[in-house]
Amino acid sequence: MSISALLSMGRCCCRCCCPRGLWMLSAPCCDDRRMCVCPGPRRIGIPIRSSSLPLFSDAMPAPTQLFFPLIRNCELSRIYGTACYCHHRHLCCSSPYLAQSRLRYAPHPAYATFCRPKESWWQYTQGRRYASTPQKFYLTPPQVNSILKANEYSFKVPEFDGKNVSSVLGFDSNQLPANAPIEDRRSAATCLQTRGMLLGVFDGHAGCACSQAVSERLFYYIAVSLLPHETLLEIENAVESGRALLPILQWHKHPNDYFSKEASKLYFNSLRTYWQELIDLNTGESTDIDVKEALINAFKRLDNDISLEAQVGDPNSFLNYLVLRVAFSGATACVAHVDGVDLHVANTGDSRAMLGVQEEDGSWSAVTLSNDHNAQNERELERLKLEHPKNEAKSVVKQDRLLGLLMPFRAFGDVKFKWSIDLQKRVIESGPDQLNDNEYTKFIPPNYYTPPYLTAEPEVTYHRLRPQDKFLVLATDGLWETMHRQDVVRIVGEYLTGMHHQQPIAVGGYKVTLGQMHGLLTERRAKMSSVFEDQNAATHLIRHAVGNNEFGTVDHERLSKMLSLPEELARMYRDDITIIVVQFNSHVVGAYQNQE
Amino acid sequence: MADYSNKLYHQLEQETGIQTGYIRTGSVFLAQTQDRLISLKRINSRLNVIGIPSEIISPKKVAELHPLLNVHDLVGAMHVPEDAVVSSADVALALASAASQNGVQIYDRTSILHVMVKKGQVTAVETDKGQIECQYFVNCAGQWAYELGLSNEEPVSIPLHACEHFYLLTRPLETPLRSNTPTVVDADGRIFIRNWQGGILSGGFEKNPKPIFTEGKNQLEIQNLQEDWDHFEPLLSSLLRRMPDLETLEILKLVNCPETFTPDMRCIMGESPSVQGYFVLAGMNSAGLSFGGGAGRYLAEWMVHGYPSENIWELDLKRFGALQSSRTFLRHRVMEVMPLLYDLKVPRWDFQTGRQLRTSPLYDRLDAQGARWMEKHGFERPKYFVPPDKDLLALEQSKTFYKPDWFDIVESEVKCCKEAVCVIDMSSFTKFEITSAGDQALEVLQYLFSNDLDVPVGHIVHTGMLNQAGGYENDCSIARLGKRSFFMISPTDQQVHCWAWLKKHMPEDSNLLLEDVTWKYTALNLIGPRAVDVLSELSYAPMTPDHFPSLFCKEMSVGYANGIRVMSMTHTGEPGFMLYIPIEYALHVYNEVMSVGQKYGIRNAGYYALRSLRIEKFFAFWGQDLNTLTTPLECGRESWVKLEKGMDFIGRDALLQQKQNGVYKRLTMFILDDHDTDLDLWPWWGEPIYRNGQYAGKTTSSAYSYTLERHVCLGFVHNFSEDTGEEQVVTADFINRGEYEIDIAGHRFQAKAKLYPVTSLFTHKRRKDDVELSDLHGK
């Protein structure tokens, strides 16, 4: 009972919960992250190792299975240690993180009831004969830093002639995995044939295949949509005659951000078909390209291509399986396009773009540039209800999820919510065995009458940059679940402006002793020290997101515990977090303003 | 300097009747580490010989001197009992009133618009209250000195930059300290602490200084700036660690008063190289009060006599050029200089900021081959080359008063110079060309230089450029390129000074052409017995001494490059050549030399090897051993002075007189006898020399001689009368008959005195027996 309590109380966070605990699509045993070829669904037959553990009922799926290897490894004490901590947190923390799974079959039956008071847990642990005393397991600050900084990346827009003429100074990005492998992706690139910079975060679910594909491909679709007719022609002619192509994008990638080599040819062909169509559509009269339209077209087109590729299949069995996995998994996307003072944010799903604005008095305020597409958004609820017959009004969104399953209301991939039942069945049957064996892909959502239920069409927000707009934070819901947007903007703002904002101390006639002053200063320095540890605003933000205590300051002990959670448990306490912080060049933005 | 200030302030009160707050408290310099203690011991032994009492004391004794000090983490301290504290405002007032009594007019609240200059001579000062005519103008404007210098029509660049400087004032202690409680300097804690009106005054030089007014928007009046407690926190922690009982003491205020700092931690004084009569005294690195009195005296002497009574080249404005005047450079450099004031000062320290400004075209090539760099006058010079398989300590760890980690590296470079051939990039040396249509060039140079320059074309002459007193203004080598053209090579930091001196003494309306060609040539020094082979192979010309005698200069081709000035000298006394290469050929010639030299065992070497070679051969160097107060006769260079060359030259009278009367000091070479290179402290410079147990002078430079396997120090020996302390004539006999000791940080080592370099014959002999297979390997 208590083990179940432990496992459930941290909220069921694994991506795909199933009532019978039968499947998991993204297998955590995938060793080669670069390949990201998960060897099919992993059935979870619960290996009852000892009859002394009768509590492992079929109600507790994935985590228990993951629990076992650890026990075998005699690491029980460590788990207990962490688990105790988690338990404690859950009970005493008024607002535990609700990093809920984005996709689930049904609400977890045991969510509330399984929460047992602390004592029973203790009785349990102490009752076990091989339970050792709970040990504390700490990471040293350098260890914490190496975890936090493993994926950090910074890009500074190069200066020409000592001047940066771009409205973007540069960006910091970072991600912290909770899933193994991480399902979030990020991309950043400069458009070479048009002006502007593209930045995006992608939050995958049911595996990382879709988010990976979108992170590789979406910017090409956007860039192509933005290209003038002549350039498209030039590129097409170059392909036709085998000449060297014009480069379209300059990527800014962390070494861990990989591109799939195998699918590159396939992706290119789809992209080429797209621009060929664009060429055919445009009869030559050059019209101004509307960024908003280009973004919408690119999103829709890519999703369409993902869907088509999966339907058509590929003679290469590896690729065939890949396109299917891409189509059956899903991803949200939040993409910003910055060109001079014109900032467009295209959002599909529940990642968010937040603008950091510095008020005249130096304080920071947050301006949201995207709307979440989930159950908290009235307009989305309205839209879904309008798109489907009245009799589905109750079933289309259940328990705040699309068809009771999916948290985001818009996404790439997820053909299970887009294709007709016939098509799904046909594709699966003709698909490879791995797909066929996968319970998740086979499973048809309930109340599935009038597909498609899901779209990748983005909502595009336009914002004209002002000198007081200092930075833009793009982040997946992993961040927004843990931190209020106002805090996010304040922390980044204070980080970027350094210590200046901390009110200076003045003695000014008060009676202060040297000792008191010393104490005060030491405290202030401790507060600032975490800022100095990070050279990357995104890292700094993650540090706060994971390590903040109830007073809003980073607590090393907490940070250490959160980061030392075993891979398998991490997802229960936090989601993947991916952050891009784009810094704007106020001088350039101001100059634009003055020109007019 | 500080000593004179101390005496001046002491007398001031009696002379003027104005309270200066002068209290002889003494001061205690604490050492938290052994290295700091060594540095204090070195200072201690130098203070003692100039008559300032001081002693090294134990932590226990420190506790007795000051009741509040925590001494648990100390290893020792230096106590200077005669140090005093004064109130700066009162001193200024007293000095002003003393000056007024002697007829000086002081204009209060008057601002200078600019300084009037006619024909390169100061004539007047334009102020907001009218013009004041003058012959001399002294720029003492502190943090405004830089801007005031630039406001001139002919700008005077005074490289200094202001930093915020903090000190803390407290309310009185409950039981005030005795008024004679010593001032405490805890350099390892970066703070100083002194009494102040019953409370404490404490400040310091933090690790992360805040430079200010970089853009030049200086404040108009001296105003204290915003307090910054967060910035002061490390110093406050250090104060409370030193004096834990102060916890309960109440704060009065934190004062933020900008101070100016210079690029090399030394103040700036002297006459401008471009405007006569324009003097400067500024950039006191926050030691204005302690050095002010002495500096003022020297500057007064300078104006009255034309030169100060001590050698102050190290403080001379002319040590800097316009290149140190970049605001960015100054901003970055003072950020390094300010913490350095309380950092441990170790031998061979190089500044880390403001680097890679002037470089030779070979910089990248040499750097890729492991060169480690030092900087002189903005020019990067290789110190030594770290072989690929070797690793040196990180900068912080490499600080030492003992044997440095590069010892073996330099040894192999020196050995290669002695046995094969090495190439050293010496492009930093200042190079002038002097030409004229007629014979003026020769005439002027004959008048300016002590040696006879009327030599056949192609000859090189070592000579001094002397002042009226016969002292070295510059020490250089001059090659006669043609009948009417001369090529002059001087030390790197002479670029401004030598130029100014030549300009000052050249007839104004002659057709004499003086050109600074430093930047036009890359200089490679090929040192070693095989240099001959390398060059002859590259030029197809015989280079043996018969064809190319020593101190000879010829333009020839090296590799494909033509017009290379090859000079048979190496600045070390070793055989070899200097190649002066027009910069566009530099890389080619270097590559050729290296590839041809391979079979002769060529390798790169740096200045440390050069220095070791030079000092063991008793080659004195201007700026270190020689200065404006030393004459050729005092350093055994009679042969480089031609008193009877048929015409007068500057300093001739003084030298004639000296020749008649004898010299009062003599540059001597000392070979340390019982010094263990591995275990004992290394000599540096400034170590006291004792002759028969009596103080006789100080060393000026030192190096380890790999040939003699001993340390060699150069230094001047005086003959102080035992009764009166008066200086007496020093003869060769006097030198030779003494027993010498060199005091390194309080420990005396026996030394042999030599007036002439030691022949290194025995090394050649040894070499023949030592030949082995490994010598056949390329180096």
Residue B141 reports pLDDT greater than 90: no
Instruction: Spell B484-509 as b/e; 16+ CB within 10 A means b.
Output: bbbbbbbbbbbbbbbbbbbeeebeee
User: What distance in Å separates the CA atoms of residue B101 and residue B87, rounded to the nearest whole number?
Assistant: 21
**In this complex, is the C-beta atom of B191 within 8 Å of any C-beta atom belonging to chain A?**
no
Cβ of A215: how many Cβ atoms within 10 Å? Answer: 24
Torsion from C-alpha of B111, B114, B119, B123, nearest 10 degrees: -20
**Most B CBs within 10 Å, among A499, A517, A528, to test the B interface:** A517
Do β-strands B688-691 and B694-705 pair in parallel, antiparallel, or remain unpaired? antiparallel
Per-residue pLDDT, A123: 43
pLDDT tens, per residue, chain A with 596 residues: 333 333 333 333 333 333 333 333 333 333 333 333 333 333 223 333 333 333 333 333 334 333 334 334 434 344 343 333 333 333 333 333 434 455 544 444 434 334 344 444 444 444 444 444 445 567 888 888 888 989 999 998 876 544 557 889 899 999 999 988 899 999 999 988 888 899 999 999 989 999 999 999 999 999 999 998 888 998 899 888 888 888 888 889 888 888 888 888 899 999 999 999 998 887 655 567 889 999 999 999 999 999 999 999 888 888 999 999 999 999 999 999 999 899 999 999 999 999 999 998 888 999 999 999 999 999 999 999 999 999 988 899 999 999 999 999 999 999 999 999 999 988 888 878 777 777 777 788 888 999 999 999 999 999 999 999 999 999 999 999 999 999 999 989 888 876 444 566 777 667 888 888 888 888 777 766 655 677 888 998 998 898 887 766 777 888 888 888 887 788 888 889 999 999 998 888 888 877 76
Domain membership flag for residue A224: yes
Tell me whether A506 touches chain B (CB under 8 Å).
yes
Least confidently predicted of A72-81, B76-85, B643-652: A72-81
User: What is the nearest CA distance from A517 to chain B, expressed in angstroms?
Assistant: 9
Could you tell me how many residues make up chain B?
A: 779
Whether A514 and B230 lie within 8 Å, measured CB to CB: no
**The residue type at B157:** S
Read off the amino acid at residue B550: S
A161 contact partners, CB below 8 Å, separation of at least 6: none
Residue B72 CB-density burial (10 A; 0-12 exposed, 13-18 middle, 19+ buried) = exposed
B254: distance to nearest CA of chain A, Å?
Answer: 8
CATH of the domain at A214: 3.60.40.10
- Comparing alpha-carbon positions, the chain A residue that sits nearest to B244 is A515
Would the pLDDT of B665 be above 70? yes
Residues from chain B contacting residue A526 (CB–CB below 8 Å):
none
Residues of B in contact with A507 (CB under 8 A): 227, 229, 251, 253-254
Residue in A closest to B253 by C-alpha: A507
In angstroms, the separation between the Cα of residue B250 and the nearest Cα of chain A is 4
Query: Mapped to the 3 state alphabet, what secondary structure does B745-772 carry?
Result: CCEEEEEEEECCCCCCHHHHHHHHHHCC
Nearest-CA distance B255 → chain A (Å): 11
| Domain around A147 | 141-594
Q: Cβ of A514: how many Cβ atoms within 10 Å?
A: 22
What is the least distance, in Å, from the CA of A555 to any CA of chain B?
21
Q: Residue B626 has which token pair?
A: 């020689």
Dihedral over alpha carbons B619, B625, B630, B631 (to 10 degrees): 10
Whether A100 is covered by a domain: the verdict is no
Q: Is A502 part of the contact surface with chain B (CB cutoff 8 Å)?
A: yes
- B229 Cα to chain A: minimum distance (Å): 6
Would you say A439 and A22 are in contact if contact means Cβ atoms under 8 Å apart? yes
pLDDT score of A160 = 59
Concatenated DSSP letters of B462-497:
EEEEE-TTS-EEEEEEEEEEETTEEEEEE-GGGHHH
The whole-number pLDDT of residue A115 equals 39
B654–chain A Cβ distance below 8 A for any pair: no
CB-based burial of residue B298 (10 Å sphere; 0-12 exposed, 13-18 middle, 19+ buried)? buried
B225 close contact with A: CB closer than 8 A: no
Strands A184-191 and A249-251: antiparallel
Q: Tell me if B450 sits within 8 A of B640, measured CB to CB.
A: yes
Q: Which of A300-309, B306-315, B645-654 has the lowest mean pLDDT?
A: B306-315
Query: What are phi and psi for residue A542, nearest 5 degrees?
Result: -65, -40
Per-residue pLDDT at A286: 57
| Residue in A closest to B229 by C-alpha | A505
- Verify whether the Cβ–Cβ distance B247 to A518 is below 8 Å: yes
Contact indicator for A466, A593 with CB cutoff of 8 Å? yes
Would you state the pLDDT for residue A2? 39
Domain annotation for chain B: domains and CATH numbers: 107-160+264-329 (3.50.50.60), 359-429+520-619 (3.30.1360.120), 431-517 (3.30.70.1400), 662-778 (2.40.30.110)
Q: Which two tokens stand for residue A520?
A: 């005060």
Alpha carbon distance, N-terminus to C-terminus of chain B? 50
The helix/strand/coil state of B452 is coil
Domain count across chain A = 1
Which residue of A lies nearest to B200 if distances are taken between CA atoms?
A514
**B226 lies within 8 A of chain A by CB:** yes
Q: Which of A412, A396, A402 is nearest to A351 (CA)?
A: A412
- State residue B373's pLDDT score: 94
Helix (H), strand (E), coil (C) string for B143-194: HHHHHHHHCCCCCCCCCCEEECCEEEEECCCCCCCCCCCCEEEEHHHCEEEE
What's the ipTM?
Answer: 0.79
Would you tell me which residues 461-500 of chain A have a C-beta closer than 8 angstroms to some C-beta of chain B? 499
- Residue A95 counted as domain residue: no
Separation CA A218–CA A199 (nearest Å): 11
Asked if B240 has any chain A CB less than 8 Å from its own CB, the reply is yes
Residues of B in contact with A505 (CB under 8 A): 227, 229-230
Q: Work out the minimum CA distance from A142 to partner chain B, whole angstroms.
A: 21
Chain B residues close to A517, C-beta within 8 Å: 229, 236, 251
What HEC string does A420-483 produce? CHHHHHHHHHHCCHHHHCCHHHHCCCCCCCCCCCCECCCEEEEEECCCCEEEEEEECHHHHCCC
Rounded to a whole number of angstroms, the distance from the CA of A512 to the nearest CA of chain B is 6
Residues paired with B479 in a beta bridge: B460, B487
Residue among B227, B237, B247 minimizing CB distance to A506? B227
- In DSSP notation, A263-332 reads THHHHHHHHHHHHHHHHHH--S---PPPHHHHHHHHHHHHHHHHHHHHHH--SSHHHHHHHHHHHHSEEE
Contact B233 A521 (CB under 8 A): yes
Nearest-by-CA chain A residue for B171: A513
What average pLDDT does the segment B512-538 reach? 93
Instruction: Please indicate if any CB of chain A lies within 8 Å of the CB of B229.
Output: yes
- Assess B224–A contact: CB distance below 8 Å, yes or no: no
Tokens at B212, concatenated: 């200010």
CA distance B551 to B573: 11
Which residues lie below 8 Å from residue B199, measured CB to CB, with a gap of 6+? B169, B170, B171, B172, B173, B176, B249, B252
B68 touches chain A (CB under 8 A): no
* Record: contact B248-A504, CB cut-off 8 A: no
The answer to whether residue A50 is domain-embedded is: no
Nearest-CA distance B249 → chain A (Å):
5
User: Per the domain annotation, does A75 fall within a domain?
Assistant: no
Burial of B695 from C-beta contacts in 10 A (0-12 / 13-18 / 19+): middle
Q: Mark yes or no for CB contact B236/A518 under 8 Å.
A: yes
Stretch among A124-128, B441-445, B583-587 having the lowest mean pLDDT: A124-128
Contact between B205 and B155 under an 8 Å Cβ cutoff? The reply is no
Measure the CA–CA gap between B184 and B242, rounded to whole angstroms.
Answer: 10
Strand partners, B380: B375
Interface contact A162, partner B, CB < 8 A: no
- In a domain? residue A374: yes
State how far Cα A498 lies from the chain centre.
Answer: 27
Q: Are B160 and B338 in contact (CB under 8 A)?
A: no
Contact A511 B229 (CB under 8 A): no
What does the pLDDT read at residue B489? 94
**Option in B227, B239, B248 nearest A513 (CB):** B248
**Residue contact B248–A512, C-beta within 8 A:** no
User: Which residues 6+ apart lie within 8 Å of B553 measured at CB?
Assistant: B458, B459, B460, B479, B480, B481, B487, B565, B566, B567, B568
A33 in B contact zone (CB under 8 Å) = no
Phi, psi of B85 (to 5 degrees): -120, 145
- The count of residues in chain A is 596
* The pairing of beta strand A103-104 with beta strand A16-17: parallel
Would you call A518 and B237 a contact, using CB atoms and an 8 Å cutoff? yes
Are the C-beta atoms of B640 and B464 separated by less than 8 Å? yes
Q: Are A347 and A461 in contact (CB under 8 A)?
A: yes
User: What type of residue sits at position B310?
Assistant: E
Q: Give φ, ψ of B16 to 5 degrees.
A: -105, -20
> What whole-number distance in Å separates Cα of residue B410 and Cα of residue B606?
8
Q: Average pLDDT of B33-38?
A: 93
Q: Do A502 and B230 touch (CB under 8 A)?
A: yes
Tell me phi and psi for residue A40, to 5 degrees: 75, 180
Note whether A517 contacts B236, CB cutoff 8 Å: yes
Distance from CA of A365 to the nearest CA of B (A): 26
Interface A-B, measured as beta-carbon pairs within 8 A, has a size of 60
Can you tell me the distance from the alpha carbon of A388 to that of A393, in angstroms, rounded to the nearest whole number?
A: 7
Report whether the peptide linkage leading into residue A28 is cis, meaning its omega lies within 30 degrees of zero. Answer: no
Query: What are the residues whose beta carbons fall under 8 Å from the beta carbon of A391, sequence distance 6 or more?
Result: none
**Tell me, what's the pLDDT at A457?**
95
Decide if A464 is inside a domain.
Answer: yes
Residue A130 lies in a domain: no
Chain B residue with Cα closest to A516: B247
Contacts of A512 in chain B (CB under 8 A): 250-251
Tracing tokens 């309380």 back to the chain, one arrives at B342
Two tokens, residue B32 = 């938290």
Tell me the chain B residues in contact with residue A506 when contact means C-beta distances shorter than 8 Å. Answer: 227, 229
| Closest residue by Cα to residue A473 from A211, A236, A173, A226 | A173
Any A CB within 8 A of B254 CB? yes
Q: What is the pTM of this model?
A: 0.66
For the ranges A194-198, A258-262, B428-432, B471-475, the lowest mean pLDDT is seen at A258-262
Structure tokens at A285: 């009269």
Residue range B87-101: average pLDDT? 86
User: Of B226, B228, B251, which has the smallest distance from its Cβ to A517's Cβ?
Assistant: B251
| Residue A282, burial from CB neighbour count under 10 angstroms (0-12, 13-18, 19+) | middle
| pLDDT value for A485 | 92
Closest CA of chain B from A536, distance in Å: 22
d(CA B204, CA B187): 8
In our burial notation (b when 16+ CB lie closer than 10 A, e otherwise), range B130-169 reads: eeeeeeebbbbbbbbbbebbeebeeebbbbbbbbbbbbbb
Query: Angle, to 10 degrees, between the axis of helix B288-305 and the axis of helix B88-101?
Result: 30
Return the pLDDT at B388: 87
Using a CB-CB cut-off of 8 Å, the residues of chain A touching B236 are 514, 517-518, 521
- From the DSSP assignment, how many helices (H) and strands (E) are in chain B? 18, 37
Residues of A in contact with B250 (CB under 8 A): 511-514
What Cα–Cα distance (Å) separates residue B139 from each residue in A65, A467, B260, B283, B556?
83, 44, 14, 11, 49
Interface of B with A in 473-492 (CB under 8 A): none
Nearest to A513 among B230, B233, B247 (CB): B247
